[in-house]
């Protein structure tokens, strides 16, 4: 079995988690490859990590990718997995961890379950984006697992986001911006702006305005077969567009087209895990003493 390990940052409190993971995989005679940048980071801290193989790009020979960090690390890992169909599982050394669900105390047991194939796969829909004219910053990684958002730049003034769905005019949002979220991203930025929580297996997207001045503007759930077209205007000549954590600048004359990506990401879930259980734990829905 060939496993890739991906991480972005080194913190002193993650050293034991990295060590536990690598020891567990080594004892199972797993072919381990660590992302080169991450390998350089951790091998400087502890020389016992210095004998592992590295990778710069993934290919179909990999059976699994393990992300070490928070949800943001998984979102970055997705840009390497792309359409290869490699399952992803996350060890949570970050904060909330909706996607990175393996806790540091459970690494050994979780790895054993995964290697014994005692897990399930949750396929997650992504968004894809096209711009006219093209923007070189988002041509190569023109997809997002959580959300695509447009927002104001270099101004405190609102922007106008003219929105069409399947070429039919919907409305013009006067707001700080607009979020187009997948079900996976519904528990992230969209949720913090008042959007609904959507089950990962739902065939839906949600449009969530950011601080709208249209007081009757509300989040809108739409079928994921919908093609969304955006045209932004404002006092500044440019605005920001973000694909998960990746940000680019677009000119106001740019037409943005967003639709469902032609591939999905496979997230590994342990048998004992479920989305509903994660909601209770992460959003503290069971903390009401009346329950």
The domain total for the chain is: 2
Q: What is the CATH number of the domain that holds 179?
A: 2.60.200.30
Same-domain check for residues 11 and 104: yes
Q: What is the CATH number of the domain that holds 83?
A: 3.40.50.10330
Q: 44: helix, coil or strand?
A: helix
What tokens were used for 273?
């895990």
Q: Are 227 and 166 in contact (CB under 8 A)?
A: yes
| Edge-to-edge strand list for the sheet holding 220-223 | 220-223, 204-210, 177-181, 147-151, 238-243, 246-251
Same-domain check for residues 152 and 253: yes
Mode of pairing for the β-strands spanning 255-270 and 31-35: unpaired
Active site residues: 71
Q: What is the enclosing helix (H) or strand (E) of 231?
A: strand 228-233
Phi/psi at 104 (nearest 5 deg)?
-60, -30
Confidence of residue 245 (pLDDT cuts 50, 70, 90): confident
**250 falls within a domain:** yes
Same-domain check for residues 144 and 204: yes
For the entire predicted model, the pTM comes to 0.91
Q: What is the pLDDT of residues 29-84, one digit of tens each?
A: 899 999 999 988 888 776 666 678 999 999 999 999 999 988 999 999 999 999 99
Q: What is the pLDDT of residues 135-183, one digit of tens each?
A: 888 888 899 999 999 999 988 899 999 999 999 999 999 999 999 999 9
Q: Which residues of 206-218 are buried (b: 16+ CB within 10 A; e: fewer)?
A: bbbbbebeeeebe
**pLDDT at 290 exceeding the cut of 80:** no
């Amino acid at each position: 079995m060939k496993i890739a390990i991906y991480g972005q940052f080194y913190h002193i409190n993650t050293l034991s988690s990295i060590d536990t993971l690598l020891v567990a995989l080594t004892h199972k005679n797993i072919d381990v490859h660590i992302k080169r940048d991450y390998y350089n980071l951790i091998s400087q801290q502890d020389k016992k990590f210095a004998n592992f193989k590295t990778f710069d790009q993934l290919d179909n020979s990999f059976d699994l990718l393990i992300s070490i960090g928070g949800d943001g690390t998984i979102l970055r890992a997705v840009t390497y997995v792309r359409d290869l169909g490699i399952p992803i599982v996350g060890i949570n050394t970050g904060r909330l961890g909706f996607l990175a669900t393996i806790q540091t105390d459970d690494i050994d047991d979780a790895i054993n379950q995964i290697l014994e194939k005692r897990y399930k796969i949750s396929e997650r829909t992504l968004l894809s984006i096209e711009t006219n004219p093209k923007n070189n910053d988002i041509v190569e990684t023109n997809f997002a697992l959580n959300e695509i958002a447009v927002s104001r730049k270099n101004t405190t003034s609102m922007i106008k986001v003219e929105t069409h769905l399947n070429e039919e005019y919907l409305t013009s949002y006067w707001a700080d911006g607009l979020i187009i979220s997948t079900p996976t991203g519904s528990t992230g930025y969209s949720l913090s702006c008042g959007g609904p929580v959507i089950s990962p297996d739902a065939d839906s997207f949600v449009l969530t305005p950011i601080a709208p001045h249209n007081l009757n503007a509300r989040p809108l759930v739409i079928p994921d077969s919908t093609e969304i077209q955006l045209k932004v205007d404002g006092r500044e000549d440019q605005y920001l567009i973000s694909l998960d954590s990746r940000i680019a600048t677009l000119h106001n004359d740019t037409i943005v087209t967003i639709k469902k990506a032609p591939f999905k990401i496979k997230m590994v879930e342990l048998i004992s895990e479920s989305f509903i259980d994660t909601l209770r734990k992460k959003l503290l829905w069971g903390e009401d003493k009346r329950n």
